[in-house]
A = this chain, B = another copy of it.
Amino acid sequence: MSQDGDSRVRTLNVELGERRYPIHIGAGLLGEPGRLCPHLAGRQVMIVTNETVAPLYLETLKRGLDADLEVREVVLPDGEATKTLASVERIWDALLAAGFNRRCTLVALGGGVIGDMTGFAAACYQRGVAFIQVPTTLLSQVDSSVGGKTGVNHPRGKNMIGAFWQPRAVLIDTATLRTLPGRELSAGLAEVIKYGLIRDRDFLGWLEAQMPALRGLDDTALGEAIRRSCAIKAEVVAEDETEQGVRALLNLGHTFGHAIEAHQGYGVWLHGEAVGAGMAMAAALSHRLGWLEADDVARVEAVLDAAGLPVAAPAAMDAEAFIVRMRLDKKNLDDRIRLVLLQALGDACLHDATPPAELAAFIDAYPRA
């Protein structure tokens, strides 16, 4: 982490060689003049946002841009259900209608859905143009704006179509969390907790202590939680940009979680809620394999509960409903289901040795909401 000539702003860098980029974190960054401009590829700027975020922050963002830029915008509907190729086509149509060339820059203003779609649109427009992430939800601030995963959902699976494409910069304005619904704040905390569970037991302890402050929108606590989360993710991504190895550990809770999201219909459970329940399931399975103690599982459940997250699986989902979806997971090699599990709190691993029948028995026995 380095200071930015401004004590309110923390900057950390994601180290990816030529594609190295900075993450700036601070309250009120959004409308600051000159904050985005150093990262633009040229004069053409396309802001992509949604109908919820646009009335709150679009004008603020535009105020921070130089007057001589050619600025356009696409305002998409809100929600995970809109994370489709059809929405990305609207972005491409807007870019082509504006005659934007390969030195244009896309700016994603919104949550993870906007960030993933905008990044994918940038990855494939004229075979790749610049983009900048301005995440406005806790989830996207700590997760989807770091690491370059972009894409859209397909009726048969989440994030099935996409690309690895790195932003030029990420701008995180913690003040945008003031307008975030409480349920979405909790969903973001699921990913924050995940970083502690997979890699940093001290951070997990810090989160247990700070959970009331975080849910109370305490600025200092939020800033620190975001910084540590981004730093852990940036470290993991730098080690393994295209998810050949350690990066897969960031998927703790996601294999169960994606199955829940897909089965319930995208957007019924928030992504973070599904991941919360998925992490509780992963902890329970890790206990069954003899890795975690019963006390460890209780700690995981308690911190998730304190964050306002579910720990039980959906009532309507049987083991078969999980297994069918989990077979499609991108981590799988050939026909084995691969899961991220916990060898200890703060120490995750990949595991594909549990036979499907045993996995099904575990899922059937797991508590339902």
Residues of A participating in the B interface, judged by any CB pair closer than 8 Å = 42-43, 85, 89, 92, 96-97, 99, 101-103, 120, 123-128, 149-151, 154, 156-157, 159-164, 242-243, 327-328, 330, 332-334
Contacts and interface: CB of A to CB of B under 8 A. Distances in A.
Contacts of A162: 124, 126-127
A259 to B, nearest CB: 14
A99 to B, nearest CB: 6
What is the oligomeric copy number?
2
Given A97-B156, A154-B92, A102 B164 contact: no
A163 B330 contact: no
Contacts of A157: 96
Contacts of A92: 154, 160-161
Contacts of A89: 85
A327 B85 CA distance: 27
Contacts of A97: 156
5 contacts: A101-B332, A102-B330, A123-B163, A124-B162, A127-B150
A317 B163 CA distance: 38
Given A96-B160, A124-B124, A127-B159, 12 more contacts: A42-B333, A96-B154, A96-B156, A99-B328, A101-B328, A124-B151, A124-B162, A125-B160, A126-B161, A127-B162, A127-B163, A127-B330
Nearest to A96: B156
Given A43-B334, A85-B85, A156-B96, A149 B127 contact: yes
B85 A128 contact: no
Contacts of A125: 160-161
A146 to B, nearest CB: 16
B101 A334 contact: yes
Contacts of A128: 163-164, 242
Nearest to A151: B127
Contacts of A151: 124, 127
Which of A89, A96, A120 has the most chain B CB atoms closer than 10 A to its own CB? A96
